[in-house]
Structure 1
């Protein structure tokens, strides 16, 4: 794995995760002085040479939909032209203030996005017109912010930032996430039989430096990419020294090499496992990790008499990594075929109430009862005057209900009994 390859980010949450400090959006000045506590982990297996220090969300990419502020687009257009001149030494690098935080305006766009703004903790891609097919705004959260403030706090910050970009917008959708755990081990990776690695992807790369193994990459270029690498070696180049302080809080002696197991999960899989809504991702973190470390990639004890490698027992060190815990939510026995099952009540009510409270704030309703009384009428008016809508509210609801009835299949008792 290239040492310069960006491999980062961790997180925890508020109530459902280990202790976590609440913060406001404008946190830049004091960020280095605040440490959020990453989630706890289960004890290592009895015969394991491995001990997990911490686990969390290592990377988070969010897309937002809504109507961008026209005044903001005009301002970005002007600042981008200034940035082009600054690149040639004619002007100072322009900045943009959003929610009390300063962002650098880039002279070039990224991919299909004409505008890019960034600072130490956020990178934001912004569309330029209403006919844009991709999400109007795309926000990437930095490793350091996720590590120190946790998943839920960072999600809240990103949503506050999005409100500065849009007249009105949704709560954001997850386009990509990375889960990781940092650990110490006595295991000599060079002694591992290559046959012991069982992975759904046939792609596997090994990286060395001066004959020292620095890591592996599994499934490069795919929708899921697994990385196992020496994190202490990597941060010598990335200069992410803040990880050392976090590790010390969990008993690191400052000398042992800290390794990281990390999985990058792209948009197609994010959708298939039902993690698009950020609140649903919290529900499924532990279950997704179990799938990734048991069904997608695993290290096993070789049994030469059994040709089916998936039946080989998990290596005790891998058992320890598989048991890494991201929050206090239980583990479901999930697999890719079941990922379109109906969302849990927690996910449904959390997601619905998130949008409903936004409706209350926008219309200055003080009670849930009052908001519910006006919601249907407001929705009907929206469908009547919105040029993007075709059909009535009732037609839209009927269409979406029909889709969900076929997508979220819930067998009844008669079917389960085979009657």
Structure 2
């Protein structure tokens, strides 16, 4: 039985010095790019709008998010920017969602990378708030029966399970509606295969000697209200207390016990499996699990099903059953579209995408 531990989702708010002055230098390009993105949406065009902020390339979305006028993202982070500083002191003008690719490459150093960008693009960081943190332990060799749900005890009030082909695929403890804590124990291998995404997890698991065909994720989704109850407010608080936080989650908030060892569930001894899970933090690899270049190579496979779907649909509509003829037809249609609708060429569009990815690689 092997395990690996990491933060799998991280959302942090940043307060920076003199934000209302700093944001003014970006308002013009942000508004222009957002308006173009909105026009593409209304015209039903599959065209993305990109902007650069301090040598980092972002796609800008046509709409913002609650309280934030601008929503930008790339392979590594999602960035939310407010148009101005709110009078509410608890409302920070910058929010960053750390994406899985960044977290699994840089692990605990992910924050340093993002903080460096924030300081360079905006200003000195005054304070941070952790809005959400998911602690994940990937482990192989797990399996559960329906009756096993009753063997879980702790501070949660709700539990549920999901089955596929009459096999337990996921267990849930707690509720998102409370905006506090939710534990999910689920078949991670199946999720990766079904979503056809993040195939690079197989490289991580294989390198860590996990059985890649049966990897489960024991994941605690922690929201701000819960973190505050645990005296975790800033990134420094989280970084310095991850081990004790995991200990609390697996010793008090949730436990998996052996019901045969006592008459009352609260007095039952821990299942040996749970004792291994409690050691989760010991399996954290501070140097990172996988390079970004390998992630990108593995991620290319997720585009194949869509490409096959589009090409076969086009072939059916045009009554073409030869793959070479279908690709040739697609080529002419694509070049005509680029010329008429985007005043561009295939080479120019590829160069834009190459620039987008290469700039991220340089920053990393």
Counterpart Cα distance in 2 of 1:252 and 1:167:
43
State the TM-score, normalized to the length of structure 2: 0.70
**Structure 2 residue aligned with 1:79:** 33
The 1:52–1:220 alpha-carbon spacing in structure 2 relative to 1, beyond 3 Å, is farther
Alignment of 1:259-270 (within 5 A): 259-270=216-227
Matched, 1:247 2:205: yes
* SS of structure 2 residue aligned to 1:79: helix
Preserved CA contact (<8 Å) 2:23 2:83: no
Counterpart Cα distance in 1 of 2:236 and 2:40:
41
Counterpart Cα distance in 2 of 1:139 and 1:179:
17
Counterpart Cα distance in 2 of 1:62 and 1:105:
19
Tell me the alpha carbon deviations over residues 94-138 of structure 1, each in whole angstroms, 9 at most, x when there is no partner: 211123221001001122222100011110111112336421010
Matched, 1:277 2:231: no
Counterpart Cα distance in 1 of 2:154 and 2:33:
47
Counterpart Cα distance in 2 of 1:243 and 1:230:
13
Q: Unpaired segments of 5 or more residues in structure 2?
A: 285-364
State the TM-score, normalized to the length of structure 1: 0.61
User: How far did residue 161 of structure 1 move?
Assistant: 2.5
Counterpart Cα distance in 2 of 1:90 and 1:260:
38
Quote the RMSD (CA, aligned, Å): 2.1
Preserved CA contact (<8 Å) 2:4 2:139: yes
Alignment of 1:135-154 (within 5 A): 135-152=92-109, 154=110
Preserved CA contact (<8 Å) 2:76 2:102: yes
The 1:137–1:147 alpha-carbon spacing in structure 2 relative to 1, beyond 3 Å, is same
User: How far did residue 275 of structure 1 move?
Assistant: 2.5
User: How far did residue 257 of structure 1 move?
Assistant: 0.5
Preserved CA contact (<8 Å) 1:127 1:136: yes
Structure holding more helix per residue: 2
Tell me the alpha carbon deviations over residues 256-277 of structure 1, each in whole angstroms, 9 at most, x when there is no partner: 3101100011111222223322
The 1:305–1:168 alpha-carbon spacing in structure 2 relative to 1, beyond 3 Å, is closer
Q: Which of 64, 69, 76 is residue 14 of structure 2 equivalent to?
A: 64
